[in-house]
Amino acid sequence: MKLTKKIMTLAAIAVLAVGTALIAGCGSSSSSNDKVLRVGMECAYAPFNWAQTDNSKGAIKIADSDQYAMGYDILMAKKIAAGMGYKLEIHKMEWDGLIPSVNTGKIDAVIAGMSITNKRKETVDFSEPYYNASIVALVKKDGKYANAKSVADLKGAVATSQLNTVWYDIAKQIPAVDRQPAIDNVPGMVVALTSGKVDVLVLDKPTAMAAAFANPDLKMLDFTGDGAFKASKEDVQMGIAVKKGNTELLNKINEQLKKITEEDRAKMMEEAIKDQPLSK
């Protein structure tokens, strides 16, 4: 009798345990099956990406932080993740840590205004370009070069750009340029221009657009054709980086990029520039 009761008791416990496990399994499966696209960026490179204190304008919460991320890269990441049916998760990290993080699996992709260079292609795979950041000139609206139609028209200008950028090298394309020492950051460059220390800044289009938006006395000169600054694809094309060999994710990202028109991309950049911190 005692043995029979013991067997019955053990059987009841076993049934209860199986039921509990099934219930627990049902509860975790929905969360574990949620597809998440973990994207890394600096959150410090407006208008491509920046950090802010609230979720205004559709900003996304930064993982393990009380801050939110916004910018062109966020707008792009939201479109890609939504098209893939994934939840978007943003990770803020230092620039030098982005590629190592995608290669170790800490994040799935880097969307951070990263140029597609041959050197980087040795360690990561890139999507099709998601932005082409052409090289432009920034001048004062009332300055002597305000009506320039080509790089040749900037002849003899006192010019500069940012330290350790291709922009500074490209400034040498201005005929008879008086190239001043490079400046550490964009705000410093703008001060040099507005104060009259230089006539021309050479930089990429999004940075110039953002500076001109924040400083109405400045004018962006976007030369075209033979009159434009000469730059390689590596200088201007930005792509989304994934772990080398992750063809499945790369194909999904490229599939979504094909759906985003150039007009859509221009509108997204205009929105980012309007909302970026420098414009406040």
Residues contacting 189, CB < 8 A, separation 6+? 160, 161, 162, 183, 201, 203, 211
Total-model pTM: 0.75
Residue 17 pLDDT level (bands cut at 50, 70, 90): very low
CATH number among 3.40.1360.10, 1.10.10.10, 1.20.1090.10, 3.40.190.10, domain 135-230? 3.40.190.10
17 against 206, higher pLDDT: 206
CATH number among 2.40.160.10, 3.20.20.70, 3.40.190.10, 3.40.50.300, domain 36-132+237-279? 3.40.190.10
90-131 pLDDT, tens digit each: 999 998 899 999 999 999 999 999 989 899 999 999 999 999
Q: Scan for tokens 């574990």, then name that residue.
A: 32
CB of 60 closer than 8 Å to CB of 32: no
170-221 pLDDT, tens digit each: 999 999 999 999 998 888 999 999 999 999 999 999 989 988 998 999 999 9
Q: Residue 202: phi, psi to the nearest 5?
A: -110, 125
pLDDT score of 274 more than 50: yes
Residue 33 pLDDT level (bands cut at 50, 70, 90): low
Residue extent(s) of CATH 3.40.190.10 domains in the chain? 36-132+237-279, 135-230
